[in-house]
Amino acid sequence: MPHQLQVAKDFGWEGCDKPSFNWATFLERKDVEIARLSGIYVRNLANAGAELLHGRAELRDAHTVELIGKNQKVTADKILIAVGGWPWIPEFPGSEHVITSNEAFHLPELPKRIMVVGGGYIAVEFAGIFNGLGAQTTLLYRGANILRGFDDDVRSHLADEMEKRGIKIILGCHHQKIEKTDAGLVSHLESGLVETNDVVLFATGRGAKVEGLGLDKAGVKLNDQGAIQVDDFSRTNVENIWAVGDVTNRINLTPVAIREAAAFAETVFRNNPTKYDHADVPSAVFSQPPVGVVGLTEAQARHAYGKVDIYKSVFRPLKAAFHGGADQVLMKLVVDGETQKLLGCHIVGDEGPEIIQMAAVAIKMGVTKQQWDSTTALHPTAAEELVTMREKYLPPELGVS
């Protein structure tokens, strides 16, 4: 929001100098909205004829579930496990003082200084949130760059843009210990750096929430990542037990879990064996600026296809150029050099997630670069750059920038 207010001021709007943010109001509205959504889900289940049992469930065998503390057991012919994941915190001296994303929106007040630890989408999103709300924000990650698994250009471009917006990024480093003092939480890093913050938020990964489910009693196997092992139809090694969503650690996105569950229902209850296709799933990182991607990264495409054509553009959108802003957008296309089929699309910039949804439709349908380019550009938009990139990108070492 401070960034947006500055842009508004540059466009001529006045009275934007002293904005204030009410953390308590935000938390209240968040709770109201979550309650509203939960109420809708409960009503939909009730209207569908589902019986809801509230409590922690544990398998006793392949057909029996016990509600812990309620002395109640339920038997079922078929069982679906969809319990999701849970944040993971490494153990080190002082780790008991940190919070996770679970507690971030339950803090009694907005911290003035916060360190977010991690390099994945949850870490960069929370760094952007707290920085945007006015907190002095540091992002600490042990790796060489943020967003491991994303395209390398996306990773470096986003890091640069985040730093432009005031987020301090420390890479290749991790905690030795945290001390709780009157001045705040003092982070001692293995590099020798020492930094004091009001809150340290660890977003260092989420694991499948398999503890306490009684999977061993039912004979359900885990894979080498500690998630429930399933086949292409989401079936476990136990004939009558299935699992979907983050607890299987395939693609950990809410829409994917929903589609996996829909495929399960088609297979099991409608006698229509259905596999969910995990290829070309669009995803977004709601960072500052946001990221939208679908398909293969450049590295993945080169490994799988060998000959790959790259089209890339880094530019100031018209809005930023108008007011002299420094924001830059990255757009990148990855194309099969032989068939000219579009293999991946990567966007870093405002509205990137909105744009990528439509790009995902085209890529899922197998669009070629020639078909993509035949689309008329919509001017003036940032998205028009996607269909006007005609020159293949060659790295500077090959003589073309």
Residues with catalytic annotation? 379
Residue 180 β-bridge partners: 185
Which H helix or E strand runs over 304? helix 298-305
User: Who's near 71: CB < 8 A, 6+ residues apart?
Assistant: none
Q: H-type helices in 141-288, by residue range? A: 152-164, 215-218, 254-269
Cα gap 82→243, rounded to integer Å: 6
Contact between residue 348 and residue 161 where contact means Cβ atoms under 8 Å apart? yes
What is the CA 279 to chain-centroid distance, rounded? 17
Q: Are 86 and 206 in contact (CB under 8 A)?
A: yes
Residue located via tokens 């009694």: 108
- Spatial neighbors of 165 by CB under 8 A, at least 6 apart, are 3, 128, 131, 288
How far from chain centre, in Å, is Cα 137? 19
C-alpha 325, offset from chain centre: 27
Sign of CA dihedral 347, 348, 351, 354: positive
